[in-house]
Structure 1
Amino acid sequence: MGVMGITISIHDGVIIGYSVSFLENKLILDIETVTDEIVTVTFENYLAHDFHHVMAGSILFDIHEADLNTFFVENREQFENFKLYAWPIWYGNTNELEQDLQKDNYKCYVISASLGLTGYVFAKALKIKRNDKFSGNNQSL
């Protein structure tokens, strides 16, 4: 993934932690890259997530933005079951949910792994940056 001409690769990075702030509407993944950098992936204007196989040592393969229509076609049965619990929001059917998410500019970010944590996040934006707070004395120039 690149931001403003800076390329930061999260492929094969190890997830060292994640957190959700409902007050700030964001989900944060902290990742140690193969080059021993610590980067933070922030899902801004976060709505909901569904993670599976959460474990220490999870190794990322990729995070990509899925086409909402394709995502809901592939996961229709799952969301028909989720509507009984009003997750991620109240909706009558999956078409209504998809339309509401599109209208409110939500995106679906799919997290795939070589090992461990997989799933998806509904949020309006994704940002990735190097994280100095974990660097300590291990900074290199």
Structure 2
Amino acid sequence: MEQILELFLKNGLRPLSMLPDMAGLERVVNRSEIAVLLMLHFRGKMTMTALASELGAPLSTMTSLAQRLVRKGLIERRQSGTDQRIILVQLTDEGLQLVLQVKATIEKVFIRVQAALSADELNQFLALAVKIGKAVQERETGGTEAQTSKVRNIPIED
């Protein structure tokens, strides 16, 4: 379940908006903030740069989101113990409680999906969801072979 949810988060897909139980939680935090909280739950402490990269958002956007979450008491920002220039963000206890509510809501939906599908259908669904998520994550290659950046030598005349 976490693998599928993480693929959705990284690709900007918003499966949470389809869940009726999420309406109450979205009064406290919006979907982008939920994505940040879930990613911090999955990864633990992260730098702002790593968090922005994982969620595919610009650093400036992630900084604004983090500031809102700090004001709401859901995450905290701290300097790294090894390098004072590095700021790490992590969930607070209140943030963890909210993430656990979100995960419980999602798990209820997956239980309903499991009940509706046979074991074979469920395995096919999960395999296809992961395959689709990976395909969406890959950059366009323009063909069957992956493009690689080529180093070009430029002659310099004296």
Q: TM (normalized to structure 2)? A: 0.22
**Larger CA Rg, structure 1 vs 2:** 2
Compare relative contact order (CA 8 Å, sep 6+) and give the higher one, 1 or 2.
Answer: 1
Bigger helix fraction: 2
Q: TM (normalized to structure 1)? A: 0.24
